[in-house]
Amino acid sequence: MSSLTDACWSPVRPAIFFATKMDGSLDIWDYLFKQTDPTLSIQVCEEALYSLCIHDQGRFVTVGSHEGTTTLLELSESLYTLLRHEKNAMGAMFERETKREKILETRHKEMRLKERSRSQQEKEREESTESKDTEDLLLRMEHDYFASINGDIKDRETKNAHLYQMFDEALETIKEDRLYFIDDKDNSFK
């Protein structure tokens, strides 16, 4: 397979297309005959062909090589004689291809939109998962905080209960000690 260097349509037949290549060959395509391979491929020279010119009536083709060699080729009558419905057939083919390209382009746009929507949904899911994870983390932190506070409160209550008990015992002792000094008759201290 060789790179194309020059190309042009036939001025007489709308279905004929000419192309020169780096390997020195001239390809002639007849799109009404076949579209996947050239109808005729001519090895003009061993050098790369860089220029191509077709006579106005389509009968002669001139190609120029990299080294400056110019070759004049006379084409077969079938390659420069217009067929009856060739213009209409090529017009219809171009219309079909244009519609096909538009359909493919629309389909491609739809696929890109679906992909964007999918990626947006995945992003939203990730954000939702992240926010849920953050929510769960906050709930755990809140639970741990309140558990810590409740533990501190219980520790203080335990310490305070011990202090209250000591206070009650001290109060009891003071009352007992005072009882010795209180005169029972007039409730006064001696």
Per-residue pLDDT, 23: 94
The pLDDT tens digits for 138-190 are 888 888 888 888 888 888 777 777 777 777 787 777 777 665 555 555 555 44
More confident residue, 70 or 151: 70
Per-residue pLDDT, 126: 79
pTM of the model: 0.56
Per-residue pLDDT, 178: 61
**pLDDT at residue 18 greater than cutoff 60:** yes
| Cα-based distances in Å from 75 to 78, 95, 130, 182 | 8, 29, 72, 147
Per-residue pLDDT, 71: 95
The pLDDT tens digits for 97-122 are 999 999 999 999 999 998 888 888 88
Identify whether the C-beta of residue 58 lies closer than 8 Å to the C-beta of residue 80: yes
Per-residue pLDDT, 184: 53
The secondary structure of residue 78, as a DSSP letter, is: G
**What sign does the CA torsion over 64, 65, 66, 69 have?**
negative
Return the bridge partners of 18, or none. 8, 28
Per-residue pLDDT, 9: 94
The pLDDT tens digits for 80-97 are 998 889 999 999 999 999
